[in-house]
Structure 1
Amino acid sequence: MYSRKCGRLFYGFCTEIKTLRAINAKGATAPEIARRVLSSWTVCKHQRHQLLQRQPPDNRLHAGSVRQASHTTLDPEEARKFQSLADKWWDLQGAFAALHSMNDLRVPFIRDNLLSVHGSGVPGRPLAGLRILDVGCGGGLLTEPLGRLGAEVLGIDPVEDSIRTAELHTSHDPELRGRVHYRACTLEELAQSEGEDGDGGGGSVTEGFDAVVASEVVEHLADLDIFAACCHQVLKPGGSLFITTINKTNLSYALGIVAAEQLLRIVPSGTHDWEKFISPVDLERLLESSGFQVESIRGMMFNPLSGFWSWTQSTPMNYALHATKRSEEPGRNRAESQEMEQETLTRAAAV
């Protein structure tokens, strides 16, 4: 895989840095160290460029490109990755420690934006009366906190073992019973089930959701067009879509894959594929063309030393996005919009 090849190159560069530290301890001059650093980095970039050129034209990476459609959101390889981690979701020091810490940012981000639209609910339960869909919920790391804020939350994930882990963990909290539900399915399967009574699954999709959350999910999906169309279908008019994901930059490759996966081991090696990262510009363009209005985008940064996340003024690494479903798409009536959504979903179901 391309990302793994580049990973080895960057790893070699990082190894070179360790060597330079040893050289510096022996009294090397600053110009000598600078020349060696520049030489190593230049070689690394040249080799990365050569790898790009070896890719077939249709598979080469372009910073502004969006991955090609595959008519389903499910990537079997991604599902296998998370299948092997299904019993580790609630290990606070394990593979998903950074996601636990991310709740300090993403939960208030979702809560505050929903309150600005719907106002405050019951004291102590500000999201009471709202229905939220958590796409790619995993073990329920975000589903549960949203339920504790009073919302009725349905978490979905294609990995059944992750859903079982989520159900088991939620069952230990009486406050969440009847408020948090889970279903082992893909987003398109849920959208196709519109009209079902939803027994044991958190209610009928026909009612529509007030919000859809996809946190650290889109970088693992096979088809973002299907994802956007399904989100649009299951949301109520004016409903909110919340996404957190990773920008597609050189920095996100160096820190998100090389450093986080290969050097610091913050997340398991192979968790991310840089080819699937998407920039805020491309994601906004995709959502706008799918009937959404992007309301805000905020940069996020993880500190591996402290283990905490913080908001940033720019988006070179992670970012959070809030969009709302437009009541009517420009130049398209409701019937035409529904027809296009159904056509997209039919293609997904046919695969």
Structure 2
Amino acid sequence: MVETSMSEGSTRATTSVVQEEIAQFGKLAGDWWDPNGASAMLHKLNPVRLSYIRDQIDQHWSLDERSRRPLEGKKALDVGCGAGLLAEPLARLGAEVTAIDPAAELIAAAREHASGHGLSIDYRVSAIEELEGQFDLITAMEVIEHTADPQAFLQSLSQRLAPGGLLLFSTPNATAWSKLITITLAEGFGAIPKGTHHFDKFIAPERMKLLLAGAGLKCLDVGGIAWGPTRGLHLSEDVSLNYLIAAAR
């Protein structure tokens, strides 16, 4: 969901956005909120992500796990928000949410859906590099594998993270199993739109930890998202398919 733009006479990417990714995801805006539509896999992933997010914020800020609004008084940023599948639950958890995506079609769909559900979310058509301010919680789910420069992307996230803040993100692992499930099967049989993923952009956890360190971030936790025929997608210690990371400065 990102594009590379170059300043005159420069070879350094000034934004994480890849134009082709914007077009690919922008096409999904019409049925993003349909649990049986083109984004059905995201609907299946979202409860798994939310379970991890809730556990990590409770641990990080020593919150009451019974609280219905644990993020009250905190600013949250959802990067690569799509049409708001994660931003809306973050708002319901009490956060003051800013959510960004470079695809204008997705932001339009997000605003319409949030308005229809009485939610106040600051949706913006933007890349992370264009944003100012700092946030207590930053989420970037299934985004880094779509960026032009993962190291620069993490650096930008780090700059937006407030002191004592928490960064949470997820991404496919760079394994043969992940390629089989995510690309060969899921994309091959239409569970995910074809062309969504490129295996050469998948990042293994060991490499990700090095990228985090390069951005001045410390890895706090790595959790797996596994798939099984009886359980479907679920949190697991197995990171071979997909994994979530919690990090802080």
Counterpart in 2 of 1:139? 83
- 3-state secondary structure, aligned to 1:238: strand
Q: 1:284 aligns with which of 192, 209, 218?
A: 209
**Do residues 164 (structure 1) and 88 (structure 2) align?**
no
Aligned-partner Cα distance in 2 for 1:309–1:218:
20
Counterpart in 2 of 1:267? 192
**Alpha-carbon contact 1:246-1:317 (below 8 Å) kept:** yes
Gaps of 5+ in 2: 1-10
Which residues of 2 match residues 1-351 of structure 1 at below 5 A? Answer: 70-120=13-63, 123-174=67-118, 176-177=119-120, 180-190=121-131, 194=132, 205=133, 208-262=134-188, 264-303=189-228, 308-325=232-249
Higher helix share: 1
**Alpha-carbon contact 2:226-2:238 (below 8 Å) kept:** no
**Alpha-carbon contact 1:133-1:213 (below 8 Å) kept:** yes
- 3-state secondary structure, aligned to 1:183: strand
Bigger shift: 243-252 or 104-113?
104-113
**Alpha-carbon contact 2:60-2:166 (below 8 Å) kept:** no
- 3-state secondary structure, aligned to 2:234: strand
Shift of 1:308: 3.4
Aligned-partner Cα distance in 1 for 2:36–2:12:
36
Query: How many residue pairs were aligned?
Result: 238
> Quick one: which amino acid aligns to residue 49 of structure 2?
R
Aligned-partner Cα distance in 2 for 1:85–1:213:
21
Question: Cα deviations across residues 110-147 of structure 1 (Å, max 9, x unaligned)?
Answer: 12211222233794212111111000000000000111
Counterpart in 2 of 1:340? none
Question: Cα deviations across residues 249-271 of structure 1 (Å, max 9, x unaligned)?
Answer: 11111221011111x31101111
- 3-state secondary structure, aligned to 1:211: strand
> Quick one: which amino acid aligns to residue 138 of structure 2?
V
- 3-state secondary structure, aligned to 1:87: helix
Shift of 1:69: 6.7
Question: Cα deviations across residues 219-261 of structure 1 (Å, max 9, x unaligned)?
Answer: 1111112211111111112211111110011111122101111
Aligned-partner Cα distance in 1 for 2:27–2:96:
29
Shift of 1:71: 4.0
Of the two, which has the highest radius of gyration? 1
Aligned-partner Cα distance in 2 for 1:125–1:268:
34
Could you say if the C-alpha distance between residues 221 and 307 of structure 1 is closer, same or farther in structure 2, counting changes exceeding 3 Å? farther
Shift of 1:168: 0.3
Shift of 1:89: 0.9
> Quick one: which amino acid aligns to residue 193 of structure 2?
P
> Quick one: which amino acid aligns to residue 32 of structure 2?
W
Aligned-partner Cα distance in 2 for 1:307–1:169:
30
Aligned-partner Cα distance in 2 for 1:247–1:69:
26
Gaps of 5+ in 1: 1-67, 195-204, 326-351
Shift of 1:283: 0.8
**Alpha-carbon contact 2:14-2:129 (below 8 Å) kept:** no
Root-mean-square deviation (Å): 1.8
Aligned-partner Cα distance in 1 for 2:235–2:92:
24
> Quick one: which amino acid aligns to residue 292 of structure 1?
L
Shift of 1:312: 2.3
> Quick one: which amino acid aligns to residue 233 of structure 2?
W
**Sequence identity percentage:** 39
TM norm structure 2: 0.90
Shift of 1:216: 0.7
Aligned-partner Cα distance in 2 for 1:118–1:163:
30
Bigger shift: 118-127 or 217-226?
118-127
Aligned-partner Cα distance in 1 for 2:112–2:241:
33
